[in-house]
Amino acid sequence: MNLQLTEQQEMLRAMARSFAEGEIAPIAHTIDAEEKIPDSLRKKLRDSNFFALLIPEEYGGVGVDAVGYVIVMEELARASAAVAITVSVHNSVAAGPIAKFGTDAQKSCWLPRLAKQWLGAFALTEPGSGSDSAALTTRAERRGEEYVLNGSKTFVTNGKYADVFVLLARTSQEQKHRGITAFLIERNAPGLKIGKNIDKMGIRGSDTVELVLEDCRVPAKNRLHDEGRGFRVAMQTLDGGRIGVAAQALGIAQASLDAASRYARDRYQFGHPIGDFQAIQWMIAEMRTEIEGARLLTLQAAWMKDQDIPYGPYASMAKLKASAVARMAADRAVQIHGGYGYTKEFAVERYYRDAKVTELYEGTSEIQRIVIANSVLHPKDGKGTT
Ligand code: COS
């Protein structure tokens, strides 16, 4: 792996950083407090092509590679983890599977709209199936040229505003994971109801909803890939998504280090800036070292994806590591701020709440360990080989 970023990747970083510092950071506190990304910011993100990042150029997207995507996602998350996940879900787990598994007709139908106008979401989790996704019970029955879906989904990021959902449902009761099929469901599909907004600890500016499907009718042409292939679609989609979450965690960790080091220079106690004390220096040194390690793992997973080298377990390692580093760095940043870190006056309080979710969504840290352990213990069984 070449550790030197290309000129284009450096330009991408500069562009994303300037956008994040100029347009997102000044309102990041308000986005969290008001639990909403303002329409004006959504429009600017759209106009600056952040919603087109992973969409191939032939469908009106930017077509950045995975390394470039990680760089952008880290910069966005450094300003606001809520904005970063909104962009990340749209790109990597909504547009991503359409680009990878869609027919030409499906790609031509949805990708240009997702690049320019529409928002995407991914609906896998159900109230009764989280880590055990293959146990999902939402049913899809074929009736002529339609499927009729019944069931419910939860923890659907972007669901409140999404125009199209990549949704997993069961087409066969007999087989567990081999009975699952992926569908593309538009917001106005008859029988699809956007349920209640979920009140969360962190990333409060990003919306998370439940979905209810009551005799929801979906044209058969909206089936993504073959019947029974949905579990693989979901797993491969999540492999890519996990790189995005790792990058988001990196952004939170870097923001925590930035804030902690600024405060360590500015805050005086016992006649010195607190950064003069080793107790603080050790925390700063640990944060910096762990962040660099997590960044290398994340870039490695992204680079492997770009080279078409099986990267699934590397995406899991990147997410496992980067999310733990985000939680540690946010915790240290609050500690260095002392009592002030526990107030809404300082952003570290938000980083602390936002960091936790990176250990939970798109596969908990325990699930990442299962994927990693399988790749070591059973490397040839074909599992986790995206
Ligand atoms: N890429 C491609 N195929 C994969 C895969 C991957 N990364 N991981 C598993 N598969 C395939 C396997 O090859 C196997 O295929 P066949 O039996 O058809 O050959 C099939 O999927 C089942 O694999 P496995 O037996 O390992 O599945 P499990 O039900 O035991 O689940 C875990 C494996 C736990 C890793 C999976 O359910 C998982 O990732 N769960 C977490 C889900 C998640 O992230 N939820 C968050 C949703 S977004 S908020």
Tens-binned pLDDT, residue by residue, of the chain (386 aa): 888 899 999 999 999 999 999 999 999 999 999 999 999 999 999 999 999 999 999 999 999 999 999 999 999 999 999 999 999 999 999 999 999 999 999 999 999 999 999 999 999 999 999 999 999 999 999 999 999 999 999 999 999 999 999 999 999 999 999 999 999 999 999 999 999 999 999 999 999 999 999 999 999 999 999 999 999 999 999 999 999 999 999 999 999 999 999 999 999 999 999 999 999 999 999 999 999 999 999 999 999 999 999 999 999 999 999 999 999 999 999 999 999 999 999 999 999 999 999 999 999 999 999 999 999 999 876 555 56
Task: Give, for ligand 1, the residue of 136, 209, 232 to mutate: max count of ligand atoms closer than 8 Å to Cβ.
Answer: 232
The whole-angstrom separation of Cα 348 and Cα 340 is 9
* Nearest protein Cα to ligand 1, atom 15: 383
Among the CATH numbers 1.10.580.10, 1.10.357.10, 3.50.50.60, 1.20.140.10, which is that of 232-377? Answer: 1.20.140.10
Give pLDDT tens digits for 5-41.
Answer: 999 999 999 999 999 999 999 999 999 999 999 999 9
CB 366 within 8 A of CB 131: yes
CB 279 within 8 A of CB 238: no
Contacts for 301 with CB less than 8 Å, ≥ 6 apart = 66, 242, 243, 246, 311, 314, 315, 317, 318
* Nearest protein Cα to ligand 1, atom 10: 383
The whole-angstrom separation of Cα 330 and Cα 355 is 7
Calculate the alpha carbon distances from 297 to 237, 247, 313, 343 in Å.
Answer: 19, 10, 11, 33
The whole-angstrom separation of Cα 294 and Cα 304 is 15
The whole-angstrom separation of Cα 232 and Cα 238 is 10
At position 349, the amino acid (one-letter code) is: E
Active site residues: 362
Q: What is the pLDDT of residue 381?
A: 61
| Residues facing residue 268 across a β-bridge | 273
Q: Is it true that 7-119 and 232-377 share their CATH fold?
A: no
CB 159 within 8 A of CB 197: no
What does DSSP assign to residue 378? S
Which residues approach ligand 1 with their CB closer than 6 A?
A: 124-125, 131, 133-134, 155, 177-178, 231-232, 235-236, 238-239, 312, 361-363, 367, 370-371, 382-384, 386
| Residues facing residue 218 across a β-bridge | 147
Q: Where are the domains of the chain?
A: 7-119, 121-228, 232-377
Tracing tokens 């019970």 back to the chain, one arrives at: 137
Tracing tokens 């377990």 back to the chain, one arrives at: 313
Superfamily designation of domain 121-228: Butyryl-CoA Dehydrogenase, subunit A, domain 2 (2.40.110.10)
The whole-angstrom separation of Cα 117 and Cα 95 is 12
Give pLDDT tens digits for 330-344.
Answer: 999 999 999 999 999
Superfamily designation of domain 7-119: Acyl-CoA dehydrogenase/oxidase, N-terminal domain (1.10.540.10)
- Stretch (H or E) spanning 383: none
pTM of the entire predicted model: 0.97
First-to-final CA distance of the chain: 19
What does DSSP assign to residue 103? -
* Nearest protein Cα to ligand 1, atom 26: 383
At position 330, the amino acid (one-letter code) is: A
The whole-angstrom separation of Cα 140 and Cα 137 is 9
Looking at the CA of residue 236, tell me the nearest atom of ligand 1.
1
